[in-house]
């Protein structure tokens, strides 16, 4: 979240930022609540001072009836003020949490992914000398995925991986873990559950009609939609030593998403599902290091997909598609035959610089070595491998004229085979 004082002192720029990001927040109500909060605090202090003065006056003697009555009135007023102040603070915080992060000045304007800015294209979409199949058709041909069994056992948008696809998922995961370990990341296999307050601290709405998160009935737990939630919660409420920064974490987890309203060819098969495995990168830095770290995370994502020999492009996500926590976000989009009638670009990774938006909500600070002062850390996240979408791009781009699927050289040591079919 943003600092309350910063919001109040920059209300017009905050209003413009909300409009640019298509976020609706009642800022007039927020300002009015802050004014009421400050008035209540001032009155509360005044009442306490009067009670203290009265106590000093009565010290060592029996109070008069008038003094007892005044003391009782002041005590009752103080209790009323405490209740009202608590209510005002709760409502104010709820509105404050709705205010999105600031936006990097280079972020393109726009409200949908069609208005994202293309930065670079790596590789070219394959030119097949035959009618290519999409991943659903390829999976059926080679007995790799059973969508019908998934729907029967669990529901729509669930699935069983089979045969070589099981090994391919594990190969993608291990390949990315090995790469990240070499780049200095600490590896974690995280819980698949987190407290709702942690999810909320990372900017994920764990409750309500618009949530994309599954909640566990009768508990304060949710199924995580990404290891960003669990990795981000590790240092909840902590003050870190500056010498430890930056922290580079990598989390392997299952991810669960409700994905309401996802239909059509573009969401076919594995592209938009309720459960998948993902390797997530997460970094905690000093404020002045976060933009360089953001560039590092994007470069790692590019290295992964170059190694997988998959054509992709990098896009600068437009303001209206950033979500609440991100200051800036870059997506990698791979070429997929399942996107549209003639193929198209589909998101395979995303990496965001959330600056201190999440750390303020979670209370994650660091102590400066020189001054001893504490500052809020910056937090960043990025996908290394989403083991639902990466296989789409892999098998669709590497299908051969004879119907087989070629395995890229970087994965062969992990799969133990160089071809499916």
Q: What three-state secondary structure class fits 236?
A: coil
Catalytic residue (choose from 21, 164, 176, 257): 257
* 187, β-bridge pairs: 250
Catalytic residue (choose from 290, 347, 352, 360): 347
Quick one: tokens of 105?
A: 């000045």
Instruction: Please indicate whether residue 268 is annotated as part of the active site.
Output: no
Residue 388 to residue 348: CA distance in whole angstroms: 9
With tokens 């990774």, the residue in question is 349
Which alpha helices (H) appear in 144-220, and where do they start and end? 147-153, 164-182, 196-201
Instruction: Please indicate whether residue 341 is annotated as part of the active site.
Output: no
Quick one: tokens of 3?
A: 């600092």
Instruction: Please indicate whether residue 389 is annotated as part of the active site.
Output: yes
The contacts of residue 380 (CB under 8 Å, 6+ apart) are 282, 283, 284, 285, 290, 293, 294, 297, 351, 352, 353, 354
Catalytic residue (choose from 328, 361, 365, 389): 389
Phi, psi torsion values for 107, nearest 5 degrees:
-70, 130
Q: Rounded to a whole number, what is the distance in angstroms from the first to the last CA of the chain?
A: 51
* 275, β-bridge pairs: 256
Quick one: tokens of 369?
A: 């070595």
Catalytic residue (choose from 253, 290, 350, 352): 350
Cα–Cα nearest to 205, from 338, 94, 364: 94
With tokens 């559950």, the residue in question is 193
Q: What three-state secondary structure class fits 40?
A: helix
Catalytic residue (choose from 21, 248, 268, 272): 272
Q: What residues act catalytically? A: 257, 272, 347, 350, 389
């Amino acid at each position: 979240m943003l600092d309350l004082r910063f919001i109040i002192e920059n209300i017009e720029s905050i209003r413009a930022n909300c409009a640019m990001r298509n976020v609706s927040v009642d800022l007039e109500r927020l300002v009015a609540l802050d004014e009421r909060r400050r008035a209540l605090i001032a009155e509360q202090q005044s009442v306490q001072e009067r009670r203290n003065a009265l106590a000093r006056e009565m010290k060592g003697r029996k109070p008069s009836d008038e003094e007892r009555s005044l003391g009782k009135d002041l005590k009752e007023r103080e209790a009323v003020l405490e209740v009202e102040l608590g209510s005002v603070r709760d409502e104010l915080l709820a509105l404050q949490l709705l205010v999105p992060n600031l936006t990097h000045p280079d972020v393109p304007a726009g409200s949908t992914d069609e208005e994202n800015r293309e930065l670079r294209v790596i590789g070219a979409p394959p030119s097949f000398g035959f009618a290519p199949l999409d991943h659903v058709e390829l999976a059926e041909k080679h007995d790799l995925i059973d969508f019908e069994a998934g729907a029967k056992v669990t529901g729509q948008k669930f699935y069983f991986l089979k045969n070589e696809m099981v090994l391919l998922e594990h190969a993608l995961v291990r390949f990315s873990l090995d790469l990240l370990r070499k780049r200095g990341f600490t590896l974690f296999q995280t819980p698949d559950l987190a407290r709702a307050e942690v999810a909320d601290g990372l900017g994920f709405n764990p409750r309500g009609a618009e949530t994309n998160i599954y909640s566990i009935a009768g508990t304060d737990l949710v199924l995580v939609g990404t290891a960003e939630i669990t990795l981000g919660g590790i240092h909840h409420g902590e003050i870190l030593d500056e010498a430890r920064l930056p922290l580079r974490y990598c989390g392997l987890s299952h991810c669960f998403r409700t994905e309401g309203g996802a239909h059509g060819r573009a969401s076919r098969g594995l592209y938009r599902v309720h459960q998948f495995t993902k390797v997530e990168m997460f970094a905690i830095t000093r404020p002045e290091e976060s933009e360089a770290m953001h560039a590092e995370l994007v470069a790692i994502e590019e290295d992964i997909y170059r190694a997988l020999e998959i054509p992709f492009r990098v896009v600068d996500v437009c303001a209206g598609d950033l979500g609440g926590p991100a200051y800036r976000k870059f997506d990698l989009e791979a070429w997929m035959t399942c996107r549209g009638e003639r193929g198209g670009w589909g998101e395979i990774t995303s990496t965001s610089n959330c600056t201190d938006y999440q750390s303020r909500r979670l209370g994650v600070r660091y102590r400066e070595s020189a001054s001893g002062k504490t500052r809020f850390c910056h937090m960043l996240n990025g996908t290394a491998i989403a083991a639902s979408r990466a296989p789409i791009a892999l098998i669709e781009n590497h299908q051969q004229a004879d119907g087989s699927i070629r395995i890229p050289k970087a994965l062969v040591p992990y799969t133990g085979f160089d071809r499916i079919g």
